[in-house]
Amino acid sequence: RSEEMAKSTQLIDNEVFRAYATYTAIVLLKMMLMSLVTAYFRITRKAFVNPEDTASFGKGDSAKKYLRTDPDVERVRRGHLNDLENIVPFVGIGLLYALSGPELSTALLHFRIFTGARIFHTFAYLIPLPQPGRGLSWAVGYAVTFSMTYRVLKTVLLL
Name the site residues for a copy of itself (rule: CB under 8 A).
1, 4-5, 7-19, 21-22, 24-26, 28-29, 31-32, 34-35, 49-50, 52-53, 55-56, 75, 78, 80-81, 84-89, 91-93, 95-96, 98-101, 128-131, 134, 138, 142, 145-146, 149, 152-153, 155-159
Question: How near is the Cβ of 27 to a copy of itself at its closest, in Å?
Answer: 9
Q: How many CA atoms lie within 13 A of 136 on its CB side?
A: 7
Question: How near is the Cβ of 126 to a copy of itself at its closest, in Å?
Answer: 11
Provide the residue type at 43 as one letter. I
Question: How near is the Cβ of 148 to a copy of itself at its closest, in Å?
Answer: 9
Question: How near is the Cβ of 114 to a copy of itself at its closest, in Å?
Answer: 13
Angle, helices 71-99/133-156, rounded to nearest 10 degrees? 20
Cα separation of 87 and 101, whole Å? 21
Query: Taking the CB of residue 63, how many other CB atoms lie within 10 A of it?
Result: 17
Nearer to a copy of itself, 40 or 88 (CB): 88
Cα separation of 114 and 37, whole Å? 22
